[in-house]
């Protein structure tokens, strides 16, 4: 179907009636191709379906269920918008063969998407995603889809969501007494409203919840991405009128969570590398470490988390960008290894043995409990980050995104591979060559003294992404080094940060 491409992230695109846009016809077409793969696979012929609060998400979910049932596939669907990690856990709990989530994650409101999961609750990685894409592309446009089989379409029971909540609460632990730690949680009008407050309250916290109503326009927020400071405007206006010390915001499908911390100068937004490092150290302190514990991150994530991990005697693994690789690695860990924590710099975190995808529900609960723990010692999360930085070095990072066409992205990457020099680079790694035992990826990483830079085209947007990280003995030196390397890289690439 014109311009609808099934990639490693499934399908993501702008909704509309015309060819090449996401609509009922394209959802049927993609599901038809998936159904053929399901029928030919050795996995159970059963699928879990979830959806977020975007426009048409519920309708797309219904069409997905009906189309799958038409091919004799048993389908279970949530009856309200539900976070993607709940689906990942449900697939494992019910021994389903597959999963589909209708969401475009943190994209603007005109987008929607279609994520596919395997029997382990892991989003499809390269090989299987390629199989599904081939099946979709090979479909005969005139092939008739049979009528739906209503008896094969069922709703998930409340026992499934309760089991998901329980495994989080068991991992984190209920407070000895209710906490009065003051914080705000925003669902940004997404699926998190149906899960995050439930878990927080059962743990013993009393969140001030805002932006909980389902709304495909996300209350007018152009891009409901917790990495963007603008999404916190409403929370900040409320925080100024009370004693709020922390603000949390999750994206529409509640697999990412962002954090703002109150300081003497006002609220400051933490980045994903800071949060990941803090959580690694906090979990190691409060829950202890078992032999073979493994932290899993990505090749573009920062250095502080790795330094802390190794100092605690844990194994640290870097994989390609995309939490699906982290989930796949968890499933394939040898018996003498066990999963401890996983994170991406883009606000994706995972702990526990529930979901096999990034999980903003358990991450939100861990962050709040961690913040309350340090608050009882008279510290903020930012204070704790400074303490860790004094010990391990000031690791600062920045992500630059350049809005450029696919052709321009290809041109830049080809120029780099043809030997374009980057001043000061000690060495480089081209992940297209399948290095470090990883699948081939369109990423080039440069190493400098005390700093790194990675360049890759975005997999979901017309953007070139530049990840820069430095580690210095002082905060001032780290800021200076970060800015200098950023400017150097942008000039070398011939792009502007947008």
**Residues 66-101: tens digit of each pLDDT:** 999 999 999 999 999 999 999 999 999 999 999 999
Domains assigned to the chain = 11-156 (3.40.120.10), 163-269 (3.40.120.10), 272-391 (3.40.120.10), 394-493 (3.30.310.50)
How, if at all, do strands 183-186 and 74-77 pair? Answer: unpaired
Lowest mean pLDDT among 200-214, 350-364, 413-427: 413-427
Q: According to the model, what pLDDT value does residue 420 have?
A: 78
Q: Which long-range contacts (CB under 8 A, 24 or more apart) does 485-492 make?
A: 485/448, 485/451, 485/453, 486/398, 486/400, 488/422, 488/423, 488/424, 489/400, 489/422, 489/453, 489/455, 490/400, 490/402, 490/466, 492/420, 492/422, 492/423
Instruction: Categorize the per-residue pLDDT at 19 as very low, low, confident or very high, splitting at 50, 70 and 90.
Output: confident
Q: According to the model, what pLDDT value does residue 2 have?
A: 55
- 344 φ/ψ angles, rounded to the nearest 5 degrees: -120, 155
Residue 142 scores a pLDDT above 80: no
**CB 121 within 8 Å of CB 353:** no
Q: For 40-62, write each residue's pLDDT tens digit.
A: 999 999 999 999 999 999 999 99
Q: For 441-487, write each residue's pLDDT tens digit.
A: 999 999 999 999 999 998 667 889 999 999 999 999 999 999 999 99
Q: According to the model, what pLDDT value does residue 47 have?
A: 98
Instruction: Categorize the per-residue pLDDT at 275 as very low, low, confident or very high, splitting at 50, 70 and 90.
Output: very high
**CB 473 within 8 Å of CB 394:** yes
Q: In the beta sheet, which residues pair with residue 257?
A: 250
Q: According to the model, what pLDDT value does residue 8 have?
A: 76
pLDDT mean over 196-203: 98
Q: In the beta sheet, which residues pair with residue 263?
A: 266
Q: According to the model, what pLDDT value does residue 459 have?
A: 67
E strand spans, 189-309: 208-210, 246-250, 257-263, 266-269, 293-298
From CA 379, how far away is CA 173, in angstroms rounded?
22
Which one is catalytic: 57, 69, 88, 105? 105
Lowest mean pLDDT among 287-291, 405-409, 458-462: 458-462
Nearest alpha-carbon partner for 344 in 326, 367, 361: 326
From CA 298, how far away is CA 279, in angstroms rounded?
16
Q: Is 105 one of the annotated active-site residues of the chain? A: yes
Residue spans of alpha helices (H) in 217-303: 233-239, 272-287
**CB 53 within 8 Å of CB 253:** no
Q: In the beta sheet, which residues pair with residue 260?
A: 247, 269
pLDDT mean over 259-280: 97
For the chain, what is the largest distance between any 2 Cα atoms, rounded to a whole number of angstroms? Answer: 67
Please report, in angstroms and rounded to a whole number, the separation of the first and last CA atoms in the chain. 32
Half-sphere exposure of 214 (CA within 13 A, CB side): 15
Q: According to the model, what pLDDT value does residue 101 have?
A: 98
Burial label for 176, CB within 10 Å (0-12, 13-18, 19+), is: exposed
């Amino acid at each position: 179907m014109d311009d609808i491409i099934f990639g490693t992230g499934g399908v993501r695109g702008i909704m509309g009636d015309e060819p090449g846009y996401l609509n009922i016809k394209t959802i049927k077409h993609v599901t038809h191709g998936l159904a053929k793969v399901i029928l030919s696979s050795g996995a159970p012929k059963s699928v879990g379906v979830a959806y977020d609060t975007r426009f048409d998400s519920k309708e797309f979910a219904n069409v997905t269920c009906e189309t799958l049932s038409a091919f004799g596939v048993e389908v279970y669907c949530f009856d309200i918008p539900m976070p993607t990690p709940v689906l990942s856990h449900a697939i494992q709990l019910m021994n389903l063969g597959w999963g589909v989530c209708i969401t475009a994650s943190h994209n603007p409101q005109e987008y929607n998407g279609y994520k596919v999961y395997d029997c382990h609750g892991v989003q499809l990685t390269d090989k299987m995603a390629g199989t599904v894409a081939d099946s979709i592309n090979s479909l005969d446009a005139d092939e008739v889809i049979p009528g739906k089989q209503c008896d094969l379409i069922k709703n998930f029971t409340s026992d499934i969501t309760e089991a998901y909540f329980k495994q989080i609460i068991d991992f984190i632990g209920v407070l000895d007494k209710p906490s009065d730690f003051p914080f705000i949680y925003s669902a940004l009008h997404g699926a998190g409203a149906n899960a995050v407050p439930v878990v927080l309250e059962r743990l013993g916290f009393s969140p001030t919840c805002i932006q909980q109503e389902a709304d495909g326009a996300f209350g007018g927020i152009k891009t409901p991405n917790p990495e963007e400071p603008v999404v916190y405007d409403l929370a900040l206006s409320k925080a100024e009128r009370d004693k709020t010390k922390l603000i949390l915001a999750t994206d529409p499908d509640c697999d990412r969570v962002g954090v703002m911390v109150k300081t003497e100068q006002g609220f400051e937004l933490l980045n994903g590398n800071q949060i990941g490092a803090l959580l690694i150290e906090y979990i190691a302190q409060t829950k202890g470490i078992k032999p073979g514990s493994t932290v899993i991150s990505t090749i573009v994530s920062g250095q502080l988390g790795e330094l802390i991990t190794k100092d605690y005697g844990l194994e640290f693994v870097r994989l390609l960008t995309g939490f699906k690789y982290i989930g796949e690695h968890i499933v394939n860990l040898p018996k003498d290894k066990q999963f401890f924590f996983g994170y991406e710099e883009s606000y994706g975190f995972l702990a526990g043995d529930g979901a096999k995808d990034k999980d903003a529900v358990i991450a939100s609960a861990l962050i709040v409990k961690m913040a309350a723990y340090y608050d009882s010692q008279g510290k903020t999360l930012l204070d704790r980050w400074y303490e860790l930085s004094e010990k391990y070095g000031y690791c600062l990072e920045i992500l630059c995104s350049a809005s450029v066409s696919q052709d321009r992205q290809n041109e830049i990457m080809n120029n780099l591979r043809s030997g374009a020099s980057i001043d000061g680079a000690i060495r480089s790694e081209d992940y297209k060559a399948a290095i470090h035992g990883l699948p081939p990826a369109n990423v080039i990483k440069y190493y400098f003294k005390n700093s790194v830079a990675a360049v890759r085209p975005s997999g979901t947007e017309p953007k070139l992404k530049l990840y820069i990280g430095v580690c210095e003995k002082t905060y001032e030196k780290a800021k200076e080094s970060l800015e200098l390397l950023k400017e150097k890289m942008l000039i070398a690439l011939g792009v502007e940060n947008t």
